[in-house]
């Protein structure tokens, strides 16, 4: 990928629509567009004002019939999304006409953009920090209001700002220590050794608090691996469908209908669930069903949240008891769902006893939808920190950011211990510098090329 090339792509989704947008970015963007764009006024894009739309037509190079009527706008570096000269052409949104406009641009000297290349250029030219680019990716994927709030906060630089401040605090401590090392007889440092130690401790604590927001960020953005289990006919598939809001799983009163593990992503209140429905637990001679049951048990082991469904109209069976014991022994976060409340509002005491071993119990009806708000609240209570305002606070939303913050915290704590136990200041400086490098990975100021390539490969072409 040559980042000096002028690139182009269709930035709107493939298919028929009112309009489509073709974006061109790079040093030759305006010259490339001017080869195929003729404005009604006769003024070229090179002569047009920055950011002002111009009405005109697109022509294939060397042809006199126009391809389409379009609006074109030139943005001059660095005042564009990519930080480079950019032209955006808005044409009519037919599949063929869009393709022809793009072909005309490519024939005039632009290269087809690779996935995520526009955003990558924005990162390289300093328009976006790496975590802000990730937030932009989250914004494009957002399916819930909470995901959108977090992504917007990330794009506005809430996390970058907080991290930038902590990075600067560490730099100040480091330069203070170097002043003491290099000029031991002069009093150049603004801070005493005690003040330096307390400042490192304060930054480490702030970073720990920031890293801890990942529990909430992950529950909202990435999702909680969640398994729905229970004995056959308790209503697992009905609960699965109700949470998803559509009939993804087949529901019948025939035992053993769900034989394999089904997976979907669902939004429940503020949380995102990476949901899987499993085969009902019962003894069976059916070979396929037995394999399904083995898989169910494996899913329970790997889950971070177990929703155990019980039939509220019946007394618990041996399968119910052994499922509750298994979940209790695993220590995983769990919620007992006593289903079919439309048929029986007061489950029997024996069932309530079994459910008391779970973290929480919710009585609900997959048929009527009653109780699902209480289920959403129970999940939020387990996974979402009420102290965090996702509309205002800096929140860590990705595993990469969390790992970097975590290692920064650990390195800082080690450096602090070394300082307190009298290890040489030179050695402490190395520890603090390593911590700063780890912190720099979050916003991309210190990051390997492979990681950058991996992040931008997740974007679509045209973004």
Interacting residue ranges for ligand GDP, rule: CB under 6 A: 230, 232-238, 251-253, 257-258, 280, 339-340, 342-343, 365-367
Q: Which is nearer to ligand GDP, 272 or 339 (CB)?
A: 339
Q: How far is the CB of 346 from ligand GDP (least distance, A)?
A: 15
Q: Can the peptide bond before residue 78 be classed as cis, meaning omega within 30 degrees of 0?
A: yes
Cβ closest to ligand GDP, residue 292 vs residue 462: 292
**Looking at residue 221, what DSSP letter applies?**
I
26 contacts 5 by C-beta, under 8 angstroms = yes
**Residue nearer to ligand GDP on the CB measure, 129 or 236:** 236
Q: How many CB atoms lie within 10 A of CB 332?
A: 18
- Residue 250 CB, shortest distance to ligand GDP, in Å, is 7
Closest residue by Cα to residue 263 from 233, 295, 286, 230: 295
Give least dist CB 286 to ligand GDP, A: 14
Query: What sign for the dihedral angle of Cα 104, 122, 400, 384?
Result: negative
We find the least distance from the C-beta atom of residue 344 to ligand GDP, in angstroms, to be 9
CB of 33 to ligand GDP, least distance (A): 57
In the bound state with ligand GDP, the residue whose beta carbon lies nearer, of 142 and 251, is 251
Q: Classify the C-alpha dihedral 369-371-377-382 as positive or negative.
A: negative
Q: How far is the CB of 133 from ligand GDP (least distance, A)?
A: 41
Are 27 and 5 spatial neighbours (Cβ–Cβ below 8 Å)?
A: no
Listed in sequence order, the residues at least 6 apart from 356 whose beta carbon sits closer than 8 Å to its beta carbon are none
What are the DSSP calls for 118-164, one per residue?
Answer: HHHHHHHTTSS-HHHHHHHHHHHH--SHHHHHHHHHHHTTHHHHHHH
CB of 340 to ligand GDP, least distance (A): 4
Looking at the Cβ atoms of 272 and 365, the one nearer to ligand GDP is 365
Choose between 229 and 394: whose C-beta lies nearer to ligand GDP.
Answer: 229
Point out the residue whose Cβ comes nearest to ligand GDP.
235
Nearest CB to ligand GDP, comparing residues 219 and 323:
323
Q: Tokens standing for 53? A: 């739309």
């Amino acid at each position: 990928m040559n980042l000096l090339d002028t690139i182009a792509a269709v930035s709107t989704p493939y298919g028929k629509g009112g309009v489509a947008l073709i974006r061109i970015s790079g040093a030759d963007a305006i010259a490339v567009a001017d080869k195929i764009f003729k404005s009604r006024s006769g003024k070229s894009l090179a002569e047009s004002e920055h950011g002002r739309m111009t009405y005109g037509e697109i022509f294939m190079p060397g042809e006199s019939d126009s391809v389409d009527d379009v609006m074109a706008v030139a943005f001059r570096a660095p005042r564009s999304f990519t930080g480079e000269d950019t032209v955006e052409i808005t044409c009519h949104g037919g599949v063929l006409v869009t393709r022809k406009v793009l072909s005309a641009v490519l024939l005039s000297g632009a290269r087809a953009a690779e996935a995520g290349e526009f955003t990558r250029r924005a990162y390289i030219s300093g328009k976006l920090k790496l975590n802000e680019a990730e937030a932009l990716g989250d914004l494009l994927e957002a399916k819930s209001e909470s995901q959108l709030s977090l992504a917007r906060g990330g794009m506005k630089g809430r996390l970058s700002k907080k991290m930038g401040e902590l990075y600067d605090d560490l730099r100040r401590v480091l330069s203070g220590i170097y002043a003491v090392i290099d000029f031991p007889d002069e009093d150049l440092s603004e801070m005493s050794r005690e003040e330096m130690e307390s400042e490192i401790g304060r930054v480490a604590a702030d970073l720990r608090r920031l890293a801890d927001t990942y529990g909430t960020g992950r529950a909202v953005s990435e999702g909680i691996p969640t398994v729905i289990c229970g004995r056959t006919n308790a209503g697992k598939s009905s609960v699965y469908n109700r949470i998803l809001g559509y009939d993804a799983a087949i529901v019948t009163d025939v035992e053993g209908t769900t034989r394999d593990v089904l997976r979907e992503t669902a939004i429940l209140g503020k949380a995102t669930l990476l949901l899987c429905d499993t085969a009902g637990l019962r003894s069976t001679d059916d070979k396929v069903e037995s394999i399904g049951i083995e898989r169910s048990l494996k899913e329970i082991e790997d889950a971070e949240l177990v929703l155990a469904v019980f039939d509220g109209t019946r007394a618990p069976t041996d399968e119910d008891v052994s499922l509750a014991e298994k979940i209790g022994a695993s220590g995983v976060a769990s919620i007992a769902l006593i289903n079919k409340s439309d048929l029986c509002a007061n489950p029997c005491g024996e069932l309530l006893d079994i459910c008391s071993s779970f973290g929480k119990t919710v009585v609900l009806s997959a048929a009527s939808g009653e109780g699902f708000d209480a289920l959403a609240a129970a999940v939020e209570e387990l996974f979402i920190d009420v102290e965090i305002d996702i509309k205002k606070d800096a929140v860590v939303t990705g595993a990469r950011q969390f790992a970097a913050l975590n290692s920064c915290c650990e390195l800082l704590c080690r450096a602090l211990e070394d300082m307190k136990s009298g290890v040489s200041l030179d050695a402490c400086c190395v520890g603090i510098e390593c911590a700063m490098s780890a912190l720099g990975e979050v916003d991309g100021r210190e990051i390997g090329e492979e990681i950058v390539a991996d992040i931008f490969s997740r974007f679509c072409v045209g973004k």
